[in-house]
Amino acid sequence: MTAGLHSPALSVTGATKRFGAVLALDNVDLSVDHGQVLALLGDNGAGKSTLIQCLSGVHRLDSGTIEMDGRPVDIFSPADARSLGIETVYQDLALFDNLDPAANFYAGRESAGPRWLPRGLRLTHHARMPEATGSVLSRLQVGIPDPRASVGLMSGGQRQAIAVARAAAFASQVVILDEPTAALGLRESRRVLDLIRRLRDEGRAVLVISHAMDHVIEIADKAVVLRRGRKVGEEVPHADNRQRIVSLIVGGDG
């Protein structure tokens, strides 16, 4: 129990992942606390996406350990990550354009019964899910003109907000966001940054990939820089060390 007091919400030690001959991750360590925003920085191909895919169960680490609140955990599938309270907002959002927000929220974790039936044969609680989805959206102040419309009919900002809200609703521990503002306009980016702050204030550990240094300086408590699969630095992002972080990203050796 002594370890529990100061254990970070999520810590990764010695993360290594190979794709054939390519060493995508090479012995990477990082940790993030509850109520903390960690930015994962790096140029294209630095290993950021591979790392978060290993944390969300899409890929599996070749070696290295993942601990949550000091306890080692195994993440072998998206279902594992979900049941540990880790939710991911992918860059492509992974939304179902043909379905409404509630169906998007609950895809793969439908609220349904009776429990003695195999999961696929259960009947959905079709009133409960839209209701719960509506309250999450309003708690996070996501305005959706028509909550019954399919997500494909919504604007880029609304879609992004729905994807973030979905992660927020189900992530009891860790929220991972892959370039959450890359495709958005100024105003929509603001809203997503506000959402991230709210998640942090609610005590989630937030891991965010971003190329927008201004946003990183604004919201991140800590930044880990990757280059060619290796961790090359860890900084507290600030207007003063912006140049240093950028040079870590692009690589001083040219």
Contact 177, 204 (CB under 8 A): no
CA gap 238, 213 in Å, rounded: 10
**Is the CB of 51 or the CB of 103 nearer to another protein?**
103
Q: Which of residues 90-119 bind another protein (CB under 8 A)?
A: 90, 92, 94-99, 103, 105, 107-112, 119
Q: Apex CA 118: angle with CA 113 and CA 122, to 5°?
A: 30
Q: Which of residues 31-70 bind another protein (CB under 8 A)?
A: 56, 58
Q: Does 73 bind another protein (CB under 8 A)?
A: no
Q: Does 157 bind another protein (CB under 8 A)?
A: yes
Q: Does 120 bind another protein (CB under 8 A)?
A: yes
Using CB under 8 A, pick the residue from 136, 196, 220, 224 that binds another protein: 136
Contact 81, 55 (CB under 8 A): yes
As given in the structure block, the two tokens for residue 228 are 């060619």
Longest alpha-carbon distance in the chain: 61
Strands (E), the chain: 10-19, 22-32, 37-41, 63-68, 71-73, 86-89, 112-113, 123-124, 174-178, 205-209, 222-227, 230-235
Using CB under 8 A, pick the residue from 63, 172, 243, 247 that binds another protein: 172
Question: 205 - beta bridge partners?
Answer: 174
Q: Does 182 bind another protein (CB under 8 A)?
A: no
Shortest CB 122 distance to another protein, Å? 5
Q: Does 225 bind another protein (CB under 8 A)?
A: no
Q: Does 183 bind another protein (CB under 8 A)?
A: no
Using CB under 8 A, pick the residue from 9, 38, 169, 220 that binds another protein: 169
Q: Looking at residue 222, what DSSP letter applies?
A: E
CA gap 96, 21 in Å, rounded: 34
Q: Which of 134, 73, 125 is nearest to 100 (CA)?
A: 134
Using CB under 8 A, pick the residue from 36, 49, 50, 88 that binds another protein: 88
How many alpha carbons fall within 13 Å on the CB side of residue 119?
A: 5
Quick one: which segment of 43-51, 60-68, 136-144, 214-222 binds another protein (CB under 8 A)? 136-144
Quick one: which segment of 3-11, 38-46, 85-93, 223-231 binds another protein (CB under 8 A)? 85-93
Q: Which of residues 188-217 bind another protein (CB under 8 A)?
A: 202
Contact 40, 219 (CB under 8 A): no
Quick one: which segment of 3-11, 145-153, 214-222, 231-239 binds another protein (CB under 8 A)? 145-153
**Would you tell me which residues interact with another protein (CB under 8 A)?**
56, 58, 77-80, 82-83, 85, 88, 90, 92, 94-99, 103, 105, 107-112, 119-124, 126, 131-132, 134-139, 143-147, 152-158, 168-170, 172, 202
